[in-house]
Amino acid sequence: MDVDRGRLAWWVVAAVLSGVLAFTVYSFLGTVVLGVFVYYATRPVYRRLERWVRQPTVRAVVALVTLALPAMLVVAYTTAVGLQELDRFVDAQNVDLGQIGTLLEPYLDVSSVVQDPQAFLNQPSVQDALAASASNALGYLGFLATLFVHLFAVVVVAFYLLRDDHRLGGWFRRRFTDGDGVAEAYARAVDRDLSTVFFGNIVFAFATGVIAAVSYATLDAFAPAGVAIPYPVLFGLVTGVASLVPVVGIKLVWIPLAGWLAVAAFRSGSGYGFVAVFVAVAAVVVDFVPDLLLRPYVSGRDIHLGLVILSYVFGPLLWGWYGLFLGPLVLVFVVHFARLVLPELLAGERISPAALGGDVVTGDDGEQTEVSAFGDESGEE
pLDDT digits 0-9 by tens, 47-100: 888 888 888 899 999 888 887 777 777 777 777 777 777 777 666 666 565 555
- Position 362 scores a pLDDT of 37
- Position 308 scores a pLDDT of 82
User: How many domains does the chain divide into?
Assistant: 1
Does residue 376 form part of some domain?
A: no
Does residue 135 form part of some domain?
A: yes
Does residue 269 form part of some domain?
A: yes
Q: Which residues of the chain have pLDDT under 70?
A: 1-3, 89-144, 178-180, 246-247, 294-302, 348-381
Does residue 274 form part of some domain?
A: yes
- Note if the pTM is more than 0.85: no
What is the 3-state secondary structure of the chain? CCCCHHHHHHHHHHHHHHHHHHHHHHHCHHHHHHHHHHHHHHHHHHHHHHHCCCCHHHHHHHHHHHHHHHHHHHHHHHHHHHHHHHHHHHHHHCCCCCHHHHHHHHHHHHHHHHHCHHHHHHCHHHHHHHCCCHHHHHHHHHHHHHHHHHHHHHHHHHHHHHHHHHHHHHHHHHHHCCCCCHHHHHHHHHHHHHHHHHHHHHHHHHHHHHHHHHHHHHHHHCCCCCCCCCCHHHHHHHHHHHCCCCCCCCHHHHHHHHHHHHHHHHHHCCCHHHHHHHHHHHHHHHHHHHHHHHHHHCCCCCCCHHHHHHHHHHHHHHHCCCHHHHHHHHHHHHHHHHHHHHHHHHHCCCCCHHHCCCEEEECCCCCEEEECCCCCCCCCC
Does residue 355 form part of some domain?
A: no
Q: Which domain holds residue 239?
A: 31-179+197-302
Does residue 346 form part of some domain?
A: no
Does residue 145 form part of some domain?
A: yes
